[in-house]
Structure 1
Amino acid sequence: MKNFLPLLCSTSLFNGLTPEELQTLLAQLGSVMRSYGKGEALVLAGEPNRRVGIVLSGELEAYRPGPQGARIPITHMEPGGVFGDVLSGSSLASPVTVMASVPCEVLLIPYERLLLSDGSPAHQQTLRNLVRTISDKYFSLSRRIDLLVLKSLRAKVCAYLLSEAERAGSLTFSIPFSRIQLADYLNCDRSALSRELSQMQRDGLLDTYKSSFKLLEPEVLKQMVQ
């Protein structure tokens, strides 16, 4: 566990804590480390989840099961990613499945013990971080809804790529989805998405290779969203 303390202190849930404070807090919370193989589910849609998790190594994907076995991508998580913070606070079953994309290690924390503060500064800071993390995910969901209500496919693509560039702090970035997953995320036909990206590349708006993008005309892309 000690090897992961610097990573954990950098996460949204434990930001502001020292490694020493965090080590003490994790012991009090009854946190445990677990390993999962590729394709193994950590959270299953239709079942309750009462644990908050943090990715320590490997990668996870969260998706909503759709008709005929389809998977609607929700998010992709790498080391430091937090999951279950929103789901664990509900009395309802989870609407999403969280699965290991590759072999991974995660830290799991019982949600009830996380909420039951002992009054220590470290625990109080963690609770403030939890509220902020949940709020940030609410606004992220709101942005996704704004994207999906756009009428044209090009507007959806532009809005998504601009948001990813903003997140990366660079006009050159990689997205966490394959083309198939991106089509599902944007709720569009996969062939139509490929044609649109190819046309945007021919128009000199962007360069792309697999999951990597470089926005060449960001101001033009912004106009296409409006």
Structure 2
Amino acid sequence: MNFLELPLFQSLSDQELEQMKTSGCLRTASYKKNDIIFSTGSTVSEIGNVLSGSVNVENIDFWGNKSILGNMNEGHIFAETYALCREPMMVDAVAASNCEILFLNLKVLQEKNCTSSWYSKIQRSLLAMCSRKNLMLSERIFCTSSKTVRSRLLTYLSAQSRKHGNHRFQIPFDRQQMADYLNLDRSALSKELSRMKKEGILDFHKNEFVLKNEML
């Protein structure tokens, strides 16, 4: 993915992007699936931008139970709140697939480049992206606040359908990841999906779903 195609950098000119590259606040790194990019307890000064692949934001409690709080695909950012606040991370950022990440070092950006022409542009873009990220987190709260397995599934799949603008869509999770995202037992989730399929509410194959009830 071209750097200027990233939402964080779209307002920059070619010249300003080149200035950023030479300023020392950008670096890229590649990760394999399941590699930990940022770990719980670490203090970070960098924001991750997904150039290719995808990244899961995960929380594992004291007893080893995992919850997936979000999935970031191409163009999305992660760890921005922790980089801005300089607080220890309460989550892990994990490669959900083989991926390439562009890191923006906020410490270098703020200490050495605050007078640059592109500094205020990055700030505005970052604010807009943080606001959209809050909407994503709100979506998960809506999904997990329902009491039954079916209602959580309907809330999540309905939201995915609206997001894609189609009753046929793909989700970024396998079954275990879907269960972790919705705070459900995988077996209970699979059984409910099978019941909903028999009832004609939906159809699915792996991570592709088709919603059949126009009222959803």
Task: Give the aligned length.
Answer: 215
Shift of 1:65: 1.2
Q: Which among 75, 79, 91 is matched to residue 86 of structure 2?
A: 91
Shift of 1:210: 1.1
Q: Which among 53, 57, 62 is matched to residue 57 of structure 2?
A: 62
Q: 2:30: which partner in 1?
A: 35
Cα distance in 1, alignment partners of residues 89 and 155 from structure 2: 28
Does the 8 A contact of 1:59 with 1:78 survive in 2? yes
Q: Which among 192, 199, 206 is matched to residue 203 of structure 1?
A: 199
Q: Aligned pair in 2 of structure 1 residues 33, 123: CA closer, same or farther (>3 Å)? A: same
Q: Is 1:151 aligned to 2:178, yes or no?
A: no
Q: 1:224: which partner in 2?
A: none
- Aligned pairs for 1:187-202 (under 5 A) are 187-202=183-198
Q: 1:114: which partner in 2?
A: 109
Does the 8 A contact of 1:50 with 1:111 survive in 2? yes
Does the 8 A contact of 1:45 with 1:93 survive in 2? yes
Q: Which among 151, 156, 160 is matched to residue 160 of structure 1?
A: 156
- What 5-or-longer segments of structure 2 have no aligned partner? none
Q: Aligned pair in 2 of structure 1 residues 59, 137: CA closer, same or farther (>3 Å)? A: closer
Q: Which among 4, 9, 33 is matched to residue 9 of structure 1?
A: 4
User: So what's the TM-score if we normalise by structure 2?
Assistant: 0.88
User: So what's the TM-score if we normalise by structure 1?
Assistant: 0.85
Aligned to 1:86, what secondary structure does the other structure show? helix
Aligned to 2:118, what secondary structure does the other structure show? helix
Q: What percentage of residue pairs aligned between the two structures are identical?
A: 31
- What 5-or-longer segments of structure 1 have no aligned partner? 222-226
Aligned to 2:172, what secondary structure does the other structure show? coil
Shift of 1:91: 3.3
Does the 8 A contact of 1:25 with 1:123 survive in 2? no
Q: What is the CA RMSD across the aligned residues, in angstroms? A: 2.1
Q: Aligned pair in 2 of structure 1 residues 108, 201: CA closer, same or farther (>3 Å)? A: same
- Higher mean C-alpha displacement, 200-209 vs 113-122: 113-122
